[in-house]
Copies of this chain bind each other. A is one copy, B any other.
Amino acid sequence: MEYRAAAFVAERLTQLGFEVVTGRQACLSEARMGVPHADEISLHEEMALNEGVNPYWLEQMRGGHTAVVGIIRGSKPGPIVALRFDMDCVEVGESQDPAHAPVKMGYRSRRQGLMHACGHDGHIAIGVGTAVQIAERIEELTGEIRLLFQPAEEGCRGAKAMIEAGWLDDVDYFFGGHIGLKSRTLGEVVASSSGFLSTTKLDVVFRGKAAHAGESPELGRNALLAACSASLHLHSISRHSGGATRIHVGQLVAGTGRNVIAEEAHMKLETRGVTEELNAFMLTEAVRILEGTANVYGVVCQREMVGSGVSAEADTALIPWIQRECERINRIHTVIPTLAMGVSEDASLMLRKVKERGGKAAYLMFGSPLTQGHHQPCFDFDEEVLGIAAELLIQLVFACPEWTVDKEDLIRTTDGDGG
């Protein structure tokens, strides 16, 4: 739960003069997906309180409503420009290796098994840094700037609730972005990322029947083995000639005592595809496998969809404009017009929404070397990317009102693909 981060953001934005909306106004409660159990939420609220989080914000965010929206308006009319930053961490235990910079420098994660292994802490820093400079240049501002600090990006669980709270309805220009990914050189920027993977997140429970494994194994119905078999079969779903697909069982927890036949097994899994059709293919296969495996073991299988991401395309029309702004920034030496992400991003839902309403949306990559890949225990980026990214976003924010996108500027890029 992002209580500390969200409260910090809300506090700072308020200090900077932003109008701040958080809690149920910032995200529609029932549109959230994969929300943790009430007692886990309570535990995190208690920890946040103990760690000195301002009770004012905590009260507003209670029940896991940790989205934060910061709004600031110029004196003259102009477009609504939204910037989106995600704030959540990953369930990876951070390395304790003394050579790992966060250990050496003292900012290693304080939570066991949780870590900013995808750089979203960097995104928060970029967002707050951007806010500072916008506030400083308030008199130049036309139109409205809307900073969207989103919880629960991992698992594609949080964007929908901010969209359904209305924050993307009237946006003219939307910018999201990510540190690293396929761009691993400082000073390199990808203007517009494509190839967001469509994805579905499933929680699965197999329920069998316990028995004494020594005395009467034949009386049990083994949920652990059902989950094991399902995992193997899921990972052997056929590749698809239509393009990239993914399947992954990330967590499996099954059984109680060593000599008791496991009555329950819990799995967290996800399917992906570079198009929605491909993700649908994976999901159909996965569901058939889960049900078939339950039959093989004579157990029952329950499934819950706890997250879902769509494929999306950024507006290629914005590419030349973004390239132009990049050229004005010294520290950016290379601009790649477009590149496939090869991952899912909850932002894709926001891109879609903005485009549906006639707005334009881009998703950038901010190049940085990484000590280890995303979601790995030694993940770390070069902090210099933070300043570069903030500088670019400021530049874009203040340039938007002047953009006049021509048909001429439209660049068609066909993304071929393998399987």
- Give A263-283 as 1s and 0s: 1 = Cβ < 8 Å from B's Cβ atoms: 101001110101000100100
Q: Does A356 contact B (CB under 8 A)?
A: no
Q: How far is the CA of A241 from the CA of B261 in the complex (A)?
A: 14
Closest Cβ–Cβ distance, residue A225 to chain B (whole Å) = 6
> Copies of this chain, how many?
4
Q: Are B373 and A212 neighbours in the complex by a CB distance under 8 Å?
A: yes
- Give A213-234 as 1s and 0s: 1 = Cβ < 8 Å from B's Cβ atoms: 1111111101011011101110
Q: How far is the CA of A247 from the CA of B224 in the complex (A)?
A: 14
Q: How far is the CA of A235 from the CA of B403 in the complex (A)?
A: 51
Q: Are A215 and B235 neighbours in the complex by a CB distance under 8 Å?
A: no
Closest Cβ–Cβ distance, residue A230 to chain B (whole Å) = 9
**Given contacts A242-B419, A295-B291, A417-B418, is CB(A215)–CB(B181) below 8 Å?**
yes
Q: How far is the CA of A415 from the CA of B242 in the complex (A)?
A: 14
Residues from 327 to 386 in A contacting B, C-beta threshold 8 Å: 340-344, 373-377
Residue of A214, A244, A247, A261 ringed by the most chain B CB atoms within 10 A: A214
Name the residue of chain B whose CB is nearest to the CB of A282: B218
Overall SS of chain A's interface: loop
A419 CB contacts on chain B under 8 angstroms: 239-246, 274, 278, 342, 417-419
Q: Are B246 and A373 neighbours in the complex by a CB distance under 8 Å?
A: no
A238 CB contacts on chain B under 8 angstroms: 217-218, 220, 222, 235
Q: Does A210 contact B (CB under 8 A)?
A: yes
**Given contacts A217-B248, A248-B213, is CB(A260)–CB(B295) below 8 Å?**
no
Residues of A within 8 A of B (CB): 90-93, 113, 117-118, 154-155, 181, 195, 197, 199, 201, 209-220, 222, 224-225, 227-229, 231-233, 235-236, 238-263, 265, 268-270, 272, 274, 278, 281, 288-289, 291-298, 340-344, 373-377, 414-419
Q: What would 20 more interface pairs be, CB under 8 Å, given A224-B250, A288-B296? A: A214-B342, A216-B241, A217-B239, A218-B238, A218-B240, A218-B281, A222-B238, A225-B236, A239-B239, A239-B246, A251-B256, A252-B254, A253-B254, A258-B268, A288-B295, A292-B293, A292-B294, A340-B418, A416-B416, A417-B418
A to B CB contacts below 8 Å, 11 in the list: A90-B259, A154-B258, A216-B342, A225-B236, A225-B249, A235-B238, A239-B244, A244-B244, A244-B417, A250-B259, A414-B416
